[in-house]
Structure 1
Amino acid sequence: MTDTSVIHLAMQVMLITAKLAAPALVTALVVGFAVSLFQSATQIQEFTLAFVPKAIGVGIALLLSGHWMLNSMISFTTDLFHGIPKMLS
């Protein structure tokens, strides 16, 4: 395995990690921003008002994008396992 192939593999791992984390993180960011705007407009400072909508939003995002995430992870892992002989030679 050369230095270039190790760097290429590491880049692939970071890219797939970012793709898999994006739906949950973007949803939490958008819902958190909307809740903070609502809280600042109404002067309501309640912890559960900030946490519960984020948890529900992230859960819905994971339900909607879970199939895609699983397929992406399976295809990446399958490609990685199929490339092991090439990496060893």
Structure 2
Amino acid sequence: MTEAAFYDVLRQGLQIAVKISAPMLLMALVTGVVIGLFQALTSIQEMTLTFVPKLAAMLAAFWISMGFMTAALTGFFTDQIIPLIIGG
């Protein structure tokens, strides 16, 4: 394997990692902004008020996007990694 091929596979792997993590991170961001706005408007400064909804939203985002994540990882491994291991 050449150095260019190694870096190309590494770049593709990082792109897949970003695509897979994006739904959960975006959900956490949106939930955090909404909860922060709610806390600022009501002057409620409870720590668990931010943690529990973010956790629930991230779990929901994971559950919804699980099929996409599995397909993306399976496609990456069958198209890129396994042929490299086999030697093709």
The TM-score normalised by the length of structure 1 is 0.90
Matched residue SS, 1:48: helix
Please tell me the root mean square deviation across aligned C-alpha atoms, in Å: 1.0
Q: Which amino acid aligns with 2:84?
A: G
Structure 1 stretches of at least 4 aligned residues deviating more than 6 Å after TM superposition: none
Partner of 1:43: 43
In the TM superposition, what whole-angstrom CA distance separates every residue of 1:28-86 from its partner, at most 9, and x where no partner exists?
A: 01100110011011100001110111011111101110011011111111121023313
Q: Across the two proteins, how many residue pairs are aligned to each other?
A: 86
Find the aligned partners of 2:32 and 2:62 in 1 and give their Cα distance: 16
Distance in 2, matches of 1:81 and 1:66, equals 22
Q: Structure 2 stretches of 5 or more lacking a match?
A: none
Q: Which residue of 2 aligns with 1:61?
A: 61
- The one-letter amino acid of 2:37's match is L
Q: Structure 1 vs Structure 2: percent identity of aligned residues?
A: 37
